[in-house]
């Protein structure tokens, strides 16, 4: 008889996994673990509705379904005191038109800011930044209504798909544009004004002191005022850091202190060493070795 007993191993594994322990994963299960596929399906439906749907008869079908599916997503969630499922649904429906207005302005900002854009339609269907911003704007409203977990799942889904990481708690103004977008990080307590433009690889983050849990709920991320442009690879950290109105932040800049309005900040330019290459014939001869 084999010294390996699969049935005994199965039973032991089931018993061990089902045992309740006072650990982080058990606490998470007690708080509710929404089905990711259902959340993804809902946010894709909501995003398509606010960006594209105009037909009144279609909306009469789509909007009630959106409300019903949001209700179902809240099954098993522990809502904060004073927050009700019906309250979240009704108030979210009241904000749908406002979300569409903000997204329309974001699309206009993209068209005006990107000479590669050939049409508004191209921006809506092809720009990853608009997809990420649309998900953020929907999730942000749910976050403001006190809905736990789901808004973060929605923006992390957008992060997975676009490489743009926007926390639903961030406050972002009107006419927001992210050019290219890959690698952008916008932290939870970031505040961004109107007419702000970011490029790829920008981080609006927090400093990371030891004992970071003590900073939970406090302002940890920077404030970016109206009309600021931040070029690729720049990193701006800290809750007390304010980038003044109309400022331009150059590529690869590292900032942990405030900047006055209408400033221009650039990184110290690197020094380049240029050497004359050998002739092409010399390079080719390197390929032939005597054995």
pLDDT per position as a tens digit, 251-277 = 999 999 999 999 999 998 878 888 776
Do 94 and 148 form a contact (C-beta atoms < 8 A)?
Answer: no
One-letter-per-residue 3-state SS of 254-282? EECCCECCCCEECCCCCCCCCCCCCCHHH
Give me the pLDDT at residue 2, please: 63
Residue 40 — pLDDT band, cuts 50, 70, 90? very high
HEC assignment per residue over 166-227: ECCCCEECCCCEEECCCCCEECCCCEECCCCEEECCCEEECCCCCCHHHHCCCCCCCEECCC
What domains, with CATH codes, occur in the chain?
A: 32-166 (1.10.3130.10), 170-209+217-291 (2.160.10.10)
Give residue 1's pLDDT. 47
**pTM score of the predicted model:** 0.89
Q: 14 vs 185, which has greater pLDDT? A: 185
Average pLDDT over residues 208-220: 76
Classify strands 165-166 and 185-186 as parallel, antiparallel or unpaired: parallel
Q: Look at residue 20 and tell me whether its pLDDT is greater than 90.
A: no
Percentage of the residues of the chain whose pLDDT score is greater than 90: 78
Pairwise CA distance, residues 206 & 221, whole Å: 5
């Amino acid at each position: 008889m084999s010294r390996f007993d699969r049935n005994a191993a199965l039973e032991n594994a089931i018993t061990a996994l089902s045992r309740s322990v006072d650990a982080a994963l058990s606490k998470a299960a007690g708080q509710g673990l929404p089905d990711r596929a259902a959340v993804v399906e809902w946010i894709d439906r909501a995003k398509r509705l606010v960006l594209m749907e105009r037909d009144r008869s279609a909306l009469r079908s789509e909007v009630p379904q959106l409300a019903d599916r949001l209700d179902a997503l809240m099954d098993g969630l522990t809502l904060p005191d004073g927050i009700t499922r019906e309250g979240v649904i009704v108030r979210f429906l009241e904000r749908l038109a406002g979300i569409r207005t903000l997204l329309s302005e974001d699309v206009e900002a993209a068209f005006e800011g990107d000479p590669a854009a050939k049409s508004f339609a191209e921006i809506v269907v092809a720009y990853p930044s608009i997809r990420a911003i649309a998900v953020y704007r929907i999730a942000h409203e749910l976050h403001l209504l006190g809905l736990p977990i789901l808004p973060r799942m929605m923006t992390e889904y957008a992060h997975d798909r676009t490489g743009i990481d926007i926390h639903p708690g961030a406050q972002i103004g009107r006419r927001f544009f992210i050019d290219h977008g890959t690698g952008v990080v916008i932290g939870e307590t970031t505040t961004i004004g109107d007419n702000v433009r970011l490029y790829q690889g920008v981080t609006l983050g927090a400093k990371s002191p030891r004992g970071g849990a003590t900073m939970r709920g406090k302002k940890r991320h920077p404030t970016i005022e109206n009309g600021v442009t931040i070029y690729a690879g720049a990193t701006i950290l800290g809750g007390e850091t304010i980038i003044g109105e109309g400022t331009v932040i150059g590529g690869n800049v590292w900032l942990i202190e405030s900047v006055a309005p209408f400033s221009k900040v650039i990184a110290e330019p690197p020094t380049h060493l240029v050497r004359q290459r050998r002739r092409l014939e010399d390079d080719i001869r390197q390929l032939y070795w005597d054995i």
